[in-house]
Amino acid sequence: MSSRQAIISTEYGSRYLQQLSKHWAHKFETEFTPVSAKIALPLGDARLRADDRSLHIEITAHKSKDLPVLQDVVQTHIERFAFRETLEFDWQPQT
């Protein structure tokens, strides 16, 4: 397994977390509250946490080779929901 994390500065983290969770809930196993989410995607898992200043994302791919694809899928969807603002994603290896 291979993991990465990103912390995105935004005051709308809870909104994006819930939109992403609801968007994927009809296809994938999803658990979420206004401040946390776990989404089981075919390539791996995404965990999200929101507070009033940021959105924390942790992704774990089942296979290392799938990590870039999983990262892109999660990031692209969040960027689509955040079309009113430009988000900065600085993906780092998960510690």
Model confidence over 21-33: pLDDT tens digits? 999 999 999 999 9
State residue 50's pLDDT score.
98
Q: Is residue 89 part of a domain?
A: no
Detail the DSSP E strand segments found in the chain.
2-9, 29-32, 36-41, 44-50, 54-61, 92-93
What residue numbers bound the domain in which 48 lies?
2-83
Counted domains in the chain: 1
Q: Which residues of the chain have pLDDT under 70?
A: 95
Q: Is residue 20 part of a domain?
A: yes
Q: Is residue 90 part of a domain?
A: no
State residue 94's pLDDT score.
83
State residue 9's pLDDT score.
97
CATH of the domain at 33: 3.30.310.50
Q: Is residue 75 part of a domain?
A: yes
Q: Is residue 88 part of a domain?
A: no
- Residues 57 and 32: their CA atoms lie apart, in Å, by 13
pTM beyond cutoff 0.85: yes
Find out whether 19 and 30 touch, Cβ atoms under 8 Å: no
